[in-house]
Amino acid sequence: MDQEELREAVEAEFADTGADTPAWGDPHPDRAALDEEYSRCLDPGKYRILAARADAWTRVLCGRGLATAEPGGDPGVLWRHTPDVPLDDPVLLRPARADAVPLVFGFGAIDDVPRTVLAVGAGEPAVLVERVPDCGCDACDDGSAGLLELLDDAVIAVVTGAFVHIDAGPGRRIIDTGETSSASNWPPSAERPEAAVEAARAGHSPYRVVRGAAWG
């Protein structure tokens, strides 16, 4: 699967889906954030750009026959763990390949403005791959480009089969995207995280694993 070709196709679709959600730059590139910016978001609606990007990905993946979209569903069933923000109107993209894992888009709200938070999940039920924005306050805002890149990278990790999620018990997890890797509360007595990921990719992990083949 050609990642660059996929990204270019998404950009082309995004010209349509994102026509009403313009990009923006870092609102304070040359200064520190003000104290009052930490407790406010003057324009939460701008974050709808994330939902518009998810819509572009849905068009591309379904339009190429790589997946079918299943809108709706109970978030309590779609997600393995209850997300830390309420998510509505989810879309599950079921890959055409039976050995690939589904992709889930869940949409939340900033200041009651719908579709301004996007959660990207993988698996059935889904584990969290990425949530953007991590914080929607004006102080943490450094523009839309980085958010879109995080979203794109999360989707690419799933559809290329690079994504691995290892669950070794409460709070003990490893998430590897092929480009980045992080371990949370991984026990010192266990094998190194790198070895655990290698075993998971080979299908020999003793833990609960989410991984799958490339979609195409």
Question: DSSP 3-state helix, strand, coil percentages of the chain (rounded to 5)?
Answer: 30, 25, 45
For residue range 58-92, list pLDDT tens digits in order: 999 999 999 999 998 888 889 998 778 889 889 99
Average of per-residue pLDDT values in the chain: 94
Residues 215, 3: contact at Cβ < 8 Å?
A: no
Give Cα separations from 137 to 9, 42, 129, 161 (angstroms): 31, 8, 22, 33
pLDDT band of residue 51 (cuts 50, 70, 90) is very high
Other CB atoms within 10 A of residue 205 CB: 20
Q: What are phi and psi of 67, to 5 degrees?
A: -160, 165
Show the tokens assigned to 161.
Answer: 């089969």
Predicted local distance difference test score (pLDDT) of residue 83? 79
- Per-residue DSSP letter, 149: H
Mean pLDDT along residues 116-124? 97
pLDDT band of residue 16 (cuts 50, 70, 90) is very high
pLDDT band of residue 33 (cuts 50, 70, 90) is confident
pLDDT band of residue 29 (cuts 50, 70, 90) is confident
Show the tokens assigned to 59.
Answer: 């068009």
Residues 78, 125: contact at Cβ < 8 Å?
A: yes
Q: Cα–Cα distance between 206 and 200 in angstroms, integer?
A: 8
- Of 139, 141, 152, 144, nearest to 48 (Cα)? 144
Residues 33, 185: contact at Cβ < 8 Å?
A: no
- State yes or no: pLDDT of 164 exceeds 90: yes
Predicted local distance difference test score (pLDDT) of residue 149? 98
Show the tokens assigned to 51.
Answer: 């939902």
For residue 122, the SS3 value is strand
